[in-house]
Chain A
């Protein structure tokens, strides 16, 4: 497995390089260093001299890929791409264009994002799998039929509706929890109940239906018939055998998103005023802050790669036939 992990790590480097290059190109196709300077300095009194000074100070005055003014290797290293993008590989995120420390910002925002994403993810997993197994148990009955109809209805509703409707009903009309906000420690509970509940309910329809499909496929297999034939209860068949054998497709979809939970959720965090990472990238794109954009894209792609590796490892845990080599 060690060799496999090393190989995957090796694959990750060109992938991350490619992602960096793509981010760099896309960003600078839309924004020039002059645009960035004007955005940071404000449009009111920032003249051409101020724009030029800002670029020099922040290192945005360099050519993109080839610096003809330099000689030797410096022709390629003293460029915008190398100085601004490749430092990511040493995990030096540097400062945002407004001067704030990016690593500090990420550390501060990660906690609130996880406080919502993690319980939401776990609860959602438990509830959707349980409901899906129930529907499978009652398959081909009215309960199954109306359950699926309800799932389709729920997955057809926009997540905005759940958020706004949830806030209106629970926080405004019933006044049971704060409309929005966030606090640290145990006080966070009051603020987390509603967004977590909404994230669970919002994903219920699609999740339940997806897992039901997976379980239905499993339930017609020979081993299930054998289990029943030897007299196991339907509960034992479903939870001990079907669930275990259906874990491969479940893990494929689930494990890969675990690292990405750090990145937060844009909508939930915006509406519930949670100071998480969900909006950090969007705010940076709006502010034309390349330092933040490159850092967040890099972290996002790295987490995705980590998620994929973890998925592969998790296969070996649930299926002894899988060997990583």
Chain B
């Protein structure tokens, strides 16, 4: 019998009413049942109430958690808390400073010439044939508990040759009955470096590292052949030597690089160079493991402060304190102002402070923001939708928290991201590029300069980024060595220094440059043909309506026609690779805080066309390239700064980019989190330093989340008010006769 029939078969207005109200009773029951133990809108299990847990958010599911593959920001949030490379950045000091992590000290670097003669601490880079990094680890560091370390009574691995049945009811490595650990040794780091060459793993830095560590290429070829012979078998990397990487003793290993590469020390802060125990690699290589997603890509293993306890990349990732974490303490030094901000109050205390970190996947901004305001997330970014609610902009552009946020005890943290966003000219393009004879190239340079002036980045940042950006003067963002502030730091082609600040050059100057470029008022001086600049973009990039309208307006002021050639991401990438784009919008996040990682974006041999490198503009200037090669191997200091100044002056004059902006990262945190300092995408293992005031959080959550129950009562009453007359009318109709009592027409409520 259909459900509606069952519902309406029992007569009686009261029963009808009861049924109509049932859904509300259901909601009320759920609400009240929840309210007995916690706030009804609390999204977390009752068992978590009052516990020392940090609640965070992630929006994109992590694709790779294997430290040899992972290279995206979303994954770094998890991975940097689990695995430990030998070095790390100081949590509080800025500019960023390297310090030993698991390493006992910063690595000792020795340089040798081609004859094998040691060259001293500050060698002539031209003479260096080999650089040797020797890294000594702290003794007594132990891995997180893991079944791969468990052994049986005979000392053999406890969990090898497992059947599908053995794995059937397990959800993750921590579900195994026996977990064990062992001490970290130098061989674990060597094993991981070999994994960079593993043909099944596709490490994104294999080619880059192979330039300095040629043994990686050889090892890759050897492993590829072995992989062909035994496609499904585990390859024990201990059986394959890697030239240039060796274990010196139990705690020391040595990496010998070809030539000189000072930036290598920054790579030693990344998970690519963390430790990988051989037995863990073997454990996950067993048949049947991958089908259960029991892989290193899903369940990374390390010595870090946290271990991955739950991995549901669609919903929730949980990091739990590693019971074997080494003795590590909160720093006692920081940058100026850190003491006043309370960031040194926990000096010398044992890390980590937080027991568990729960990340929940939120794909939409609105629910994420609402849950932050309810106190269910401890920190949040600020999307453009809620910017006005969160932040007040003063008349002078100064930023402060809105009154509403301040009243909740929320704090605002800002930092400059180590990134640059720019509009690049394709230097191979016949109109804007560096092609043709000297006169033509000079005209194109002036055209690029004119466009650089007219595209007002201050206005762009204000309109499209809610002021969250700093106009870029060159590729190096503030906070990284090489960036300069004040008058010496401005781009003189685009700005002048007046009244103590940088002021954009006038439209008239841009028009003058345009005329000198052979395009007076935007028309070819000889043929009268109109100048058209094409922006190649994706439709969600600069090609969106508002931004392309803004750019059209700016170009129109110069008398130049502007056209958007929007396409999809793949076609856009193709255009850039083939060099058929004219003008495009690009960005770069620095991997480490060294100017080399930004200035290489304009290094000739890095051109997209031909080398498929990172120089998307295909800019080439011999003087710049020579200076880059010189700067790259110099230590920070006045000499390096002088070289960078010369390089910057060259690119400012050549204007291969309209230097766009360096984004400002704004984030909010509730008052109950202590010791939070933005790491600017450089310092990513910061969760171990953070501390929570649980009582304050519980009190705030209770205060902010008292349920409002009257709407349920009101809805019930409204239903009664609406339903009663309907029921009465129903009954009247049911009782009605075909004709009225007078016999003159249909009775009340009768059928027509």
Would you give the 0/1 interface string for A155-191, flagging 1 where the beta carbon is closer than 8 Å to chain B?
A: 0000000001001100111111111111100010111
User: What chain B residues lie within 8 Å of A228 (beta carbons)?
Assistant: 751
Determine the distance from Cα of A146 to Cα of B284 in the docked complex, in whole angstroms.
Answer: 64
Determine the distance from Cα of A109 to Cα of B314 in the docked complex, in whole angstroms.
Answer: 8
User: Closest chain B residue to A187 by CB distance?
Assistant: B45
Determine the distance from Cα of A283 to Cα of B751 in the docked complex, in whole angstroms.
Answer: 56
Would you give the 0/1 interface string for B251-292, flagging 1 where the beta carbon is closer than 8 Å to chain A?
A: 000000000000000000000000000000000000000111
Q: Say yes or no: is A87 at the interface (Cβ < 8 Å to chain B).
A: no
- Inter-chain contact A275/B3, CB cutoff 8 Å: no
User: Closest chain A residue to B4 by CB distance?
Assistant: A130
- Inter-chain contact B207/A57, CB cutoff 8 Å: no
Instruction: Pick the contact of B8: A112, A197, A239, A275 (CB < 8 A).
Output: A239
Q: Say yes or no: is B726 at the interface (Cβ < 8 Å to chain A).
A: yes
User: Closest chain A residue to B704 by CB distance?
Assistant: A175
Q: Say yes or no: is A210 at the interface (Cβ < 8 Å to chain B).
A: no
- Inter-chain contact A45/B360, CB cutoff 8 Å: no
Instruction: Pick the contact of B39: A175, A181, A279 (CB < 8 A).
Output: A175
User: What chain A residues lie within 8 Å of B707 (beta carbons)?
Assistant: 174-176
Instruction: Pick the contact of A177: B23, B41, B568, B614 (CB < 8 A).
Output: B41
Q: Say yes or no: is B315 at the interface (Cβ < 8 Å to chain A).
A: yes
User: What chain A residues lie within 8 Å of B292 (beta carbons)?
Assistant: 101, 104
User: Closest chain A residue to B61 by CB distance?
Assistant: A283
- Chain A, range 129-150, C-beta contacts under 8 Å to B: 129-130, 133-134, 137-138, 140, 143
Instruction: Pick the contact of B7: A126, A138, A171 (CB < 8 A).
Output: A126
User: What chain A residues lie within 8 Å of B708 (beta carbons)?
Assistant: 173-176
User: What chain B residues lie within 8 Å of A193 (beta carbons)?
Assistant: 26-27, 30
Stretch of A18-26, A29-37, A67-75, A304-312 with 4 or more beta carbons under 8 angstroms from chain B: A29-37
A32-B570, A35-B570 given as contacts; is B706 within 8 A of A176 (CB)?
A: no
Q: Say yes or no: is A54 at the interface (Cβ < 8 Å to chain B).
A: yes
Stretch of A2-10, A77-85, A265-273, A295-303 with 4 or more beta carbons under 8 angstroms from chain B: A265-273
Stretch of B80-88, B89-97, B362-370, B480-488 with 4 or more beta carbons under 8 angstroms from chain A: B362-370
Q: Say yes or no: is B467 at the interface (Cβ < 8 Å to chain A).
A: no
**Which of B5, B72, B751 counts the most A-chain CB atoms under 10 A from its CB?**
B5
A61 to chain B, nearest CB (A): 14
Instruction: Pick the contact of B734: A40, A98, A99, A235 (CB < 8 A).
Output: A235
User: What chain A residues lie within 8 Å of B733 (beta carbons)?
Assistant: 137, 234
- Inter-chain contact B4/A126, CB cutoff 8 Å: yes
B210 to chain A, nearest CB (A): 9
Q: Say yes or no: is B323 at the interface (Cβ < 8 Å to chain A).
A: no
Determine the distance from Cα of A271 to Cα of B360 in the docked complex, in whole angstroms.
Answer: 13
A42-B71, A130-B4, A167-B370 given as contacts; is B41 within 8 A of A176 (CB)?
A: yes
User: Closest chain A residue to B368 by CB distance?
Assistant: A180
Instruction: Pick the contact of B291: A50, A104, A187 (CB < 8 A).
Output: A104
Determine the distance from Cα of A212 to Cα of B45 in the docked complex, in whole angstroms.
Answer: 43
- Inter-chain contact A50/B370, CB cutoff 8 Å: no
Q: Say yes or no: is A88 at the interface (Cβ < 8 Å to chain B).
A: no
Instruction: Pick the contact of B295: A31, A99, A182, A273 (CB < 8 A).
Output: A99
User: What chain A residues lie within 8 Å of B41 (beta carbons)?
Assistant: 171, 175-179
Instruction: Pick the contact of B573: A30, A35, A137, A179 (CB < 8 A).
Output: A35
Determine the distance from Cα of A191 to Cα of B30 in the docked complex, in whole angstroms.
Answer: 10
Instruction: Pick the contact of A271: B23, B26, B298, B367 (CB < 8 A).
Output: B367
Instruction: Pick the contact of A30: B7, B27, B570 (CB < 8 A).
Output: B570
Determine the distance from Cα of A98 to Cα of B291 in the docked complex, in whole angstroms.
Answer: 14
- Inter-chain contact A190/B30, CB cutoff 8 Å: yes
User: What chain B residues lie within 8 Å of A233 (beta carbons)?
Assistant: 734
- Inter-chain contact B39/A167, CB cutoff 8 Å: no
Q: Say yes or no: is B170 at the interface (Cβ < 8 Å to chain A).
A: no
Q: Say yes or no: is A41 at the interface (Cβ < 8 Å to chain B).
A: yes
Determine the distance from Cα of A197 to Cα of B30 in the docked complex, in whole angstroms.
Answer: 13
Determine the distance from Cα of A164 to Cα of B729 in the docked complex, in whole angstroms.
Answer: 36
A148 to chain B, nearest CB (A): 15
- Inter-chain contact A38/B202, CB cutoff 8 Å: no
Instruction: Pick the contact of B363: A178, A191, A279 (CB < 8 A).
Output: A279
- Inter-chain contact A179/B367, CB cutoff 8 Å: yes
Determine the distance from Cα of A260 to Cα of B708 in the docked complex, in whole angstroms.
Answer: 37
Q: Say yes or no: is A49 at the interface (Cβ < 8 Å to chain B).
A: yes
Determine the distance from Cα of A273 to Cα of B200 in the docked complex, in whole angstroms.
Answer: 33
User: Closest chain A residue to B315 by CB distance?
Assistant: A275
Would you give the 0/1 interface string for B88-127, flagging 1 where the beta carbon is closer than 8 Å to chain A?
A: 0000000000000000000000000000000000000000
- Inter-chain contact B204/A46, CB cutoff 8 Å: yes
Q: Say yes or no: is B205 at the interface (Cβ < 8 Å to chain A).
A: yes
Q: Say yes or no: is A53 at the interface (Cβ < 8 Å to chain B).
A: yes
A178 to chain B, nearest CB (A): 4
Determine the distance from Cα of A228 to Cα of B41 in the docked complex, in whole angstroms.
Answer: 51
Q: Say yes or no: is A48 at the interface (Cβ < 8 Å to chain B).
A: yes
Q: Say yes or no: is B345 at the interface (Cβ < 8 Å to chain A).
A: no
A45-B207, A239-B4, A273-B363 given as contacts; is B71 within 8 A of A53 (CB)?
A: no
B735 to chain A, nearest CB (A): 10
User: Closest chain B residue to A235 by CB distance?
Assistant: B8
**Which of B43, B371, B751 counts the most A-chain CB atoms under 10 A from its CB?**
B43
User: What chain A residues lie within 8 Å of B8 (beta carbons)?
Assistant: 130, 235, 239
- Chain B, range 693-729, C-beta contacts under 8 Å to A: 705-709, 711-712, 726, 729
- Chain A, range 74-122, C-beta contacts under 8 Å to B: 95, 98-101, 104, 108-109, 112, 122
**Which of A32, A44, A112, A140 counts the most B-chain CB atoms under 10 A from its CB?**
A44
Q: Say yes or no: is A14 at the interface (Cβ < 8 Å to chain B).
A: no
- Inter-chain contact B315/A176, CB cutoff 8 Å: no
Q: Say yes or no: is B293 at the interface (Cβ < 8 Å to chain A).
A: yes
B620 to chain A, nearest CB (A): 19
User: What chain B residues lie within 8 Å of A104 (beta carbons)?
Assistant: 291-293
- Inter-chain contact A31/B570, CB cutoff 8 Å: yes
Determine the distance from Cα of A20 to Cα of B373 in the docked complex, in whole angstroms.
Answer: 46
Q: Say yes or no: is A221 at the interface (Cβ < 8 Å to chain B).
A: no
B554 to chain A, nearest CB (A): 28
- Inter-chain contact A243/B5, CB cutoff 8 Å: yes
User: Closest chain A residue to B726 by CB distance?
Assistant: A143
Q: Say yes or no: is B134 at the interface (Cβ < 8 Å to chain A).
A: no
Instruction: Pick the contact of A98: B26, B42, B64, B363 (CB < 8 A).
Output: B64
- Inter-chain contact A271/B40, CB cutoff 8 Å: no
A122 to chain B, nearest CB (A): 8
A98-B63, A273-B361, A273-B363 given as contacts; is B40 within 8 A of A175 (CB)?
A: yes
Instruction: Pick the contact of A167: B202, B362, B366 (CB < 8 A).
Output: B366
Determine the distance from Cα of A59 to Cα of B485 in the docked complex, in whole angstroms.
Answer: 52
- Inter-chain contact A181/B291, CB cutoff 8 Å: no
- Inter-chain contact B752/A167, CB cutoff 8 Å: no
Would you give the 0/1 interface string for B1-25, flagging 1 where the beta carbon is closer than 8 Å to chain A?
A: 0111101110000000000000100
Q: Say yes or no: is B31 at the interface (Cβ < 8 Å to chain A).
A: yes
Q: Say yes or no: is B503 at the interface (Cβ < 8 Å to chain A).
A: no
Nearest 10 A-B pairs (CB), nearest first? Answer: A275-B314, A275-B315, A178-B43, A181-B43, A180-B367, A35-B570, A174-B708, A98-B63, A175-B41, A270-B363
A residues within 8 Å of B by Cβ?
30-32, 35, 38, 40-50, 53-54, 57, 95, 98-101, 104, 108-109, 112, 122, 125-126, 129-130, 133-134, 137-138, 140, 143, 164, 167-168, 171-183, 187, 189-191, 193, 197, 228, 233-235, 239-240, 243, 270-273, 275, 279, 283, 287-288
Q: Show 23 A/B contacts (Cβ-Cβ < 8 Å), sorted by A.
A: A30-B568, A44-B71, A45-B71, A45-B208, A54-B202, A99-B297, A100-B293, A104-B293, A108-B314, A122-B3, A126-B7, A130-B7, A143-B729, A173-B708, A175-B706, A176-B709, A180-B371, A187-B45, A197-B27, A239-B2, A239-B4, A271-B366, A273-B362
Assuming A179-B367, A271-B367, A275-B314, what are 5 further A-B pairs, CB within 8 angstroms? A41-B202, A41-B204, A42-B71, A177-B30, A178-B42
B residues within 8 Å of A by Cβ?
2-5, 7-9, 23, 26-27, 30-31, 34, 39-43, 45, 61, 63-64, 71-72, 199-200, 202, 204-208, 290-293, 295, 297-298, 312, 314-315, 360-364, 366-367, 370-371, 373-374, 376, 568, 570, 573, 591, 612, 614, 705-709, 711-712, 726, 729-730, 733-734, 751-752
